[in-house]
Amino acid sequence: MTAAFGGVPLLGTARVDGATLGFVALAVFTGAFSGCGAVVFRLLIGLFHNFAFFGRLDWHYDANRHTAAASWGRGICLGASGSFWFRWPAP
């Protein structure tokens, strides 16, 4: 049994039209694109984490391993707090 562009035979008598197939293709593309974006975002998290805590540019980050004490010590937390308080206008 052959079908025209308007329908593809599916499980005997049921048919799927071209709009449904286009929507499915769009959903698969969106999922693949989002998955690749998640991988890139995870690599960026590793890059910033390693730079902030170890002072080196490295993509590898294993969230299952405990991070040792940072070489910059508490300076990162105090610097973040300081930038927050300097943001407030003086009375």
pLDDT digits (tens, 9 = 90+) for 2-43: 555 556 655 556 677 888 889 999 999 999 999 999 999 999
Residue 3 belongs to a domain: no
Residue 71 belongs to a domain: yes
Q: Which residue has the tokens 């499915």?
A: 24
The pTM (predicted TM-score) of the whole model is 0.54
Residue 13 belongs to a domain: yes
| pLDDT exceeds cutoff 70 at 64 | yes
Cross-strand bridge partners of residue 10: 14
Q: Which residue has the tokens 């993509």?
A: 59
Its domain, for residue 38, covers 8-87
Residue 78 belongs to a domain: yes
CA–CA separation, 76 vs 59, rounded Å? 20
Q: Which among 67, 66, 71, 42 is positioned nearest to 54, based on CA atoms?
A: 71
Residue 51 belongs to a domain: yes
Cβ neighbours for 48, distance < 8 A, ≥ 6 positions apart: none
